[in-house]
Amino acid sequence: MKVTPTDMAGRHLGRTTRRRAAEAVVRTLVYAAGLLSIVILLAIAVFLFVEARRSMSEVSLGTMLTSTQWFPTGTPKIFGFLPLIAGSLMVTAVALVVFVPIGIGAAVYISEFSAGWFKEGMKTVIEFMAAVPSVVYGFLGVAVLIPWVKETFHLTSGMTALTGGLVLGIMSLPTVISISEDALHAVPDALRQGSLALGNTRWQTIYKVVVPSASSGIFAGVMLGLGRAIGETMAVLMLTGNAAVIPGSVFESVRTMTGTIAAEMGEVVFGGLHYSVLFSVGLVLFAITFAINLAADLVLERQRKRWRR
């Protein structure tokens, strides 16, 4: 069969048009899916802002952010975020103390010392940890940690910032471990070889070369763990006692921003001032977690550039 140039051209042209159409459809769909997440994020911010507007005009954001008391149902009503922010920061700080050493240690172990099926098994277990619902972690805290904290530190109540922070720390571990492990894994093997060939032991190689090389990724993991801890609601609601007072130490009861919203949202008048104030709390929380995640992302991006040689 002879194919003339015209036939060739005609056939070629026909296929290209069809292919181009299919490509355009796929591209539009993928583009829309990508755009949707941005739209949702913006919508959340706008929605929070709109609902919070009443509280901002009636109480003012400055007053809410600087007032040290939270009496949303008292007379007069006082809407001070400081006890809530302090509560959130304190449990998050306790969580940080738990998940930084354990998380980085576990990541180093998985990346540098384990191998084969055991390594895969560990990674699966870590992923499973992330899949456990937070209310289950809350149960664990209620059943084990609350009595333990009460007995060990001779307190009248085991519901403290410490209790909530310990559980938050455990809950944040999967995030910290998997991101740090990725960062350690991404360190080129040539660097380990180079260090060993200079007469360093395996351990010296890890702390002098591998961990510093992965430091920005590990930092990003810690930041994301921090974001997870500060945004967690259920476990802290169950474990911290929820007293809206600026805490003097980790052995006191605290109330977090997330816990406040979850506990009070069901009882407020829809569209009322208290309702609007809770949205302001949400807005503050949103801003804090957004900043943390953004910082982590920037650091991760810098690391990616560094290894792209």
Q: What residues line the site for other proteins (CB under 8 A)? A: 115, 188, 190-191, 193-201, 204, 208-209, 212-213, 306, 309
CB of 302 to other proteins, least distance (A): 12
Instruction: Look up residue 23 and give its two tokens.
Output: 């490509």
CB of 118 to other proteins, least distance (A): 13
For residues 233 and 278, is the Cβ–Cβ distance under 8 A? Answer: no
Q: Nearer to other proteins by C-beta: 63 or 215?
A: 215
Q: Which of 157/200 has CB closer to other proteins?
A: 200
CB nearer to other proteins: pick between 5 and 199: 199
**Residue 112 C-beta: closest distance to other proteins, Å:** 12
Indicate the residue among 199 and 266 with the shorter CB distance to other proteins.
199
If residue 70 lies in a helix (H) or strand (E), which one and from where to where? strand 70-71
Give 147 or 188: the residue with its C-beta nearer to other proteins.
Answer: 188
Alpha helices in 132-266 (DSSP H): 134-140, 146-152, 161-185, 189-197, 202-205, 211-213, 215-231, 234-239, 257-264
State in angstroms the smallest separation of the CB of 219 from other proteins: 14
Least CB distance to other proteins at residue 294 (A): 24
Contact by Cβ (8 Å): 145, 187:
no
Shortest distance in whole angstroms from residue 182 CB to other proteins: 17
Q: How far is the C-alpha of 42 from the C-alpha of 17, rounded, in Å?
A: 37
**Considering beta carbons, is residue 199 or 248 the nearer one to other proteins?**
199
